[in-house]
């Protein structure tokens, strides 16, 4: 049986609709998993029932994380948040950790994991942490735009068998204070956290870049999805 992976939905407020980037689903499928898009709900009983049928969970990109999660007031540069999605993912993350089921966070997923576990975020990197590193590329999203230095002997370093990699980048928020229960797996040339994990979990990884855009042409991106799916065997 292939592992079933619950995928957090993307939400379009203007159209009042759920949507999904196919790369998330295809990345899971090519790695040997079965993706299952969750409904948009923060009902704990419904989520518990759905989670019982899943072997792991993917926290996708999307909205800014609501700053009240990490105890800050919103800055003018804060972009659209979705509190219902935050509430839903708080439940999913908490239950996944309690059940020790694998979790992979991508972009917002990394930011959300850090905030939910007690860390803080830069609400807007260009104004709060200016850098010469391109963190919000334009054009082809499957093209790498900067390097990531992997922490020696971290899970991602060991799995890929390398100490650096090239990634794409499309975000304006990032980790400010790292949650106590998390450790860094990789950083950008300017020192910004690009990958993290929770050492006490069977598998809880998160990356700031977008392997769902790169996995068709980039072996490292495929390996990230593979590591996630293999952790459920």
Task: With beta carbons less than 8 A apart as the criterion, state whether 167 and 146 touch.
Answer: yes
Catalytic-residue membership of 80 = no
Catalytic-residue membership of 107 = yes
Nearest CA to 27 among 203, 222, 219, 205?
222
* Alpha-carbon radius of gyration of the chain: 16
One DSSP character per residue, 158-172 reads: HHHT-SEEEE--B-S
Distance CA 21, CA 214 (A): 13
48 CB-near residues (< 8 Å, 6+ apart) = 95
Q: Which of 135, 146, 171, 210 is catalytic?
A: 210
Q: Which of 82, 107, 135, 146 is catalytic?
A: 107
Residue 6 dihedral angles phi and psi, to the nearest 5°: -75, 125
Q: Which of 89, 194, 212, 223 is catalytic?
A: 212
Catalytic-residue membership of 212 = yes
Active site residues: 107, 210, 212
């Amino acid at each position: 049986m292939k592992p079933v992976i619950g995928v957090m939905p993307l939400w379009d407020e203007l159209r009042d609709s759920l949507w999904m980037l196919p790369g998330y689903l295809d990345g899971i499928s090519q790695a040997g998993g079965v993706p299952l898009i969750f409904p948009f709900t923060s009902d704990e009983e419904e989520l518990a029932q759905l989670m019982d049928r899943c072997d792991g969970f993917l926290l996708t990109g999307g909205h800014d994380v609501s700053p009240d999660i990490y105890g800050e007031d919103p800055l003018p540069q804060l972009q659209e948040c979705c509190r219902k999605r935050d509430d839903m993912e708080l439940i999913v993350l908490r239950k996944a950790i309690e059940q020790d089921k694998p979790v992979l966070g991508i972009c917002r997923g990394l930011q959300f994991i850090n905030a939910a576990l007690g860390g803080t975020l830069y609400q807007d990197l260009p104004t709060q942490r200016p850098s010469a590193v391109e963190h919000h590329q334009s054009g082809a999203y499957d093209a790498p735009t900067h390097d990531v230095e992997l922490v020696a002997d971290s899970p991602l370093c060991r799995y890929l068998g390398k100490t650096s990699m090239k990634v794409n980048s499309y975000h304006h928020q990032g980790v400010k204070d790292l949650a106590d229960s998390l450790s860094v797996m990789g950083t950008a040339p300017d020192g910004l956290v690009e990958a993290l994990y929770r050492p006490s979990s069977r598998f809880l990884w998160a990356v700031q870049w977008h392997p769902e855009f790169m996995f068709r042409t980039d072996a490292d991106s495929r390996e990230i999805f593979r590591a996630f799916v293999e952790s459920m065997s």
